[in-house]
Every structure is written in structure tokens, then in C-alpha cells.
Structure 1
Amino acid sequence: MSDPAFDDEKEKPLDPAAERLQAKLKRLVLFSSLIMVAGLVAVFSAIIYKVNARSDSASAVSGAQMAATISVGPDARVLSTQVDGARLFMLVEEGTARALLQFDATTGKLLGRTDFVPR
């Protein structure tokens, strides 16, 4: 800025060795940029794949495939439920006792029962 004549000055041509070095550096920068772009594409592809794969496996049984009714004891109170694939787990309280019931989520059939007893 203090020397306005500097902008008007013509650039001197580079010697052949400097031109070769400059061309080599340009190729290196281009190659490095391509590698960086390929790496970013790979990372984002992996993230998108993982997100889509997780959402597909998490919804193994949809709401339309679930059993309409599941029978538990008359005095049972459902404390929590968990769906794992085609199985439904329920933690119920019957009076003072607790039990874990395992159902087939599509048919509603009782597959197993685990009673929790105090020691």
C-alpha cells in the first residue's frame, strides 16, 4: 500500500527449475485435495449407512404386526415393556411379587415367565 508502483511492475518469468518445482507443488496439492475429498465421502457414507442400518433393525416388528391384546394376570400391573426383535418383554407386579413375562410380539403368546423372589 505504501508503494503503489509495486502493482504496476511486471512479473519476471521464472527459471525452468522454479517452474518445474511450482508445477510439482500444484500436482501435489491437487492430489492431496482429491485424497481429502475421497476420505470425506467415505466417512459420510459410513455414517449414513450406520444410521440407516440402525433404524431398520430397531423396527423389526412394526405396530401393524404387534398383537392386538396380550393377557396378563387380573391383578397384574405393568411396570415396563421392551421390544427386542419379535419378542416383547414385560415387567409386571402381581400383588407384592414381580415377574418378567416374555411374549411373541406378533401372536401375543406367552413364551416364558421369570418370577423374582426375595431371598
Structure 2
Amino acid sequence: MSQIEPEVEEEKPLDPVMENVRRKMIRLQIVSGLVMFVSLMAVFGAVVYKVTTGGRSEPAPAATPTPVPADAPLNLLAALPAGFTVTHVSLSGPQVLFYGTAADGGARAYVFDITTGRIAATIAVGE
């Protein structure tokens, strides 16, 4: 049998324009690889930090309490409209919610802010 030897083709040198493109592509590949490596290390660092600290997060700071004078309590007046009948009162931090019916029979909610000493919001409740 006859042996067929493949022709050995030697690579021809690239023209200068293609050589510049090849160099730019290699540079882009190296920069992209470094960016990916740094990003991956940042993610691993965050995971390790979370595992070593036990996943404990600091509790959210509580709302600033209303300062109460030591010598006397606060004396405030929540000026609700005439004819308003209170059916429910709720306290949340420095705000008090008065819920009830107005003189015209409609449901209303008034938010009284203790820190400012005035009605912060008037809400008409309807369907």
C-alpha cells in the first residue's frame, strides 16, 4: 500500500492589520478574565464573611422615642372635628390613630403626631 503523507502547511505570517486585531482580542480576553476573577473573589469573600459572622444582622434601629420630660408628662390636645365619634385608638411610636365616624356618618381616621402636637393626616375611609 502506498503511504499518503499529509502535506505540511506552514503558517504564513498574518498581515499587520490582522496581527493588530489579534493582539487587541488577546488583550480584551485577559482584561475580561481579570474582571471575572475579581468579581468571583468578591462573591466568595461575601459568602465567607456571612458564614463566619453567623449570618447575624444588626437589628433595625427603633423609631426615636418621644422625649418625656422628667418633671411632668406631656399635655397635648388632639383637636378632632366636632361630631366625630372615636371607635378605635391605636398607638405606633410617636403617632396616635383615631378611627371613628364623622358627623355626616362617614368613616374617618385621624393621625395625631405627638412630636409636633398636631394632626398629621386626615383619612376618609370609604368603599
Shorter chain as denominator, the TM-score bin is 0.3 to 0.5
Larger Rg: 2
- Identify which of structures 1 and 2 has the higher relative contact order when contacts are C-alpha pairs closer than 8 Å and 6+ apart: 1
Name whichever structure is richer in helix by fraction. Answer: 1
Q: TM-score, normalised by structure 1?
A: 0.42
Q: TM-score, normalised by structure 2?
A: 0.40
